[in-house]
Amino acid sequence: MSESTVKKQVLQGNEACAVGALAAGVNFFAGYPITPSSEIAEVMSQCLPLMGGRFIQMEDEIASIAAIVGASLAGAKVMTATSGPGFSLMQENIGFAAIAEVPCVIVNVQRAGPSTGLPTQPAQADVQQARWGTHGDHAMIALAPSSVLECFTMTVDCVNLAERYRTPVVLLSDEVIGHMRESVALPAPRTYKVESRRQPEEGETEYCPYCACEGEPLPPLAAFGGEYRYHVTGLTHDARGFPTMVKEEVDRKIRGIVGKIEGCADELASYEEFMLEDADVLLFAYGSTARVAKSSVRQLRERGVRAGLLRARTIWPFSGARLEELAGQVDLVVVPEMNLGQLSLEVERVICGAADVRALGKVDGDLFTPDEIAGFTMEAVGR
């Protein structure tokens, strides 16, 4: 136990996520039961009443995200948690939060298959849904934890990013990460940053909740019930929040909500690099698959292949900067995912032919084994 951490304990990923939310100051949670995310709601329902916060179980996931967006506008720090089927239902109001620029965090503990699929098995098949699940142009921030510790730290990050960018942020966990128990030393309080949305300056008379011109810093978000009365709508709106059909205003609004996030892609990008110094084969992975890929790298090295791992913590916005650099160094990029190639498309787009990109998909509800990824890679390098 060092000064920067607290004493080690055995925690489940979903529990760590809930504790992370509480550590980040989340004081409102609305959710609907769904496997494999329900433990998050359970912990929140247990803790929030004792910590001055509020928990409510809504009638469905549509209502859950609606309630957190409403609570966020009333000044609360908010989160909900779900899995694929519930995430689908939430898309409508994720779009609302995106255009109305309301901070909120959605935890998606991914499970396998479209529709009901395999409720108790892991997948990474909501990667593109997280990006494009709601209609219309928008941007998205999504982080993918690979450990119980990251369920804690990344939930804190998600809350911070939601508050900073006034936007919905998705934690793309999965069944394995969510239900795994690990011995973790959580970071000590005050060793990490907790951010809250900016508030209007005292005495500000003309409060505008939205940007009035391009490139302007994101305005503060006043809470309902304070001294500023304003309008919030899912219609395209002007700086004061009122509906507009003026072409310039509409164009600025949409470019604004995309640009404020896409424009920070490199800044938001976070990677773990493993044995990349001399690598000529790159494994690109995230979430629970990345844990396996690490073992695969070791196996490949033992078999004479100079492999390395780039583990993406930030999935969206997708940053190409580091990948582009590495594409000049390696000949082959292997992208193992528990889906049929959702993020490998982004990798291909960024690398643009500079190295060979091979997608390794898995959709049987099981985790990869180190052998599977190593074997696929051996075949791809022609050995």
Taking the least distance from each CB to other proteins, the nearer of 28 and 87 is 28
Q: Smallest distance, Å, CB 16 to other proteins?
A: 10
Question: For residues 11 and 182, is the Cβ–Cβ distance under 8 A?
Answer: yes
Q: Smallest distance, Å, CB 235 to other proteins?
A: 7
Q: What is the DSSP string of 195-223?
A: -----PPTT--S--SS-SSTTPPPPP-PP
How do beta strands 281-285 and 181-184 pair?
A: unpaired
Q: Smallest distance, Å, CB 54 to other proteins?
A: 5
Alpha carbon separation from 168 to 147, 173, 357 (Å, rounded):
22, 16, 31
Taking the least distance from each CB to other proteins, the nearer of 54 and 301 is 54
Q: Smallest distance, Å, CB 81 to other proteins?
A: 15
The pair of three-digit structure tokens given for residue 174, joined into one six-digit string: 């999965």
Taking the least distance from each CB to other proteins, the nearer of 114 and 225 is 225
The pair of three-digit structure tokens given for residue 363, joined into one six-digit string: 């959709």
Taking the least distance from each CB to other proteins, the nearer of 74 and 340 is 74
Taking the least distance from each CB to other proteins, the nearer of 65 and 330 is 65
Q: Smallest distance, Å, CB 186 to other proteins?
A: 6
Taking the C-alpha atoms of residue 130 and residue 46, their distance in angstroms, rounded to an integer, is: 28
Q: Smallest distance, Å, CB 75 to other proteins?
A: 6
Taking the least distance from each CB to other proteins, the nearer of 114 and 243 is 243
Residue 130: name the closest of 163, 156, 95 by CA.
95
By the 10 Å C-beta count (0-12 exposed, 13-18 middle, 19+ buried), 202 is classed as exposed
Taking the least distance from each CB to other proteins, the nearer of 9 and 329 is 9
CB atoms within 10 A of CB 65: 30
Taking the least distance from each CB to other proteins, the nearer of 204 and 272 is 204
Residue 271: name the closest of 128, 143, 362 by CA.
143
Beta-carbon contacts of residue 122 (< 8 Å; ≥ 6 apart)? 110, 111, 112, 174, 175, 176, 177, 288, 338, 365, 367
Residue type present at position 101: E
Q: Smallest distance, Å, CB 144 to other proteins?
A: 24
The pair of three-digit structure tokens given for residue 227, joined into one six-digit string: 């001294």
Q: Smallest distance, Å, CB 152 to other proteins?
A: 10
- DSSP label at residue 275: S
| Sign of the C-alpha dihedral computed for residues 194, 20, 109 and 182 taken in this order | positive
Q: Which residues bind other proteins (CB under 8 A)?
A: 6-7, 9, 15, 18-19, 22-23, 28, 30, 43, 46-47, 49-52, 54, 56, 58-60, 62-64, 66-76, 78, 92-93, 96, 186, 189-190, 223-227, 229-235, 242-243
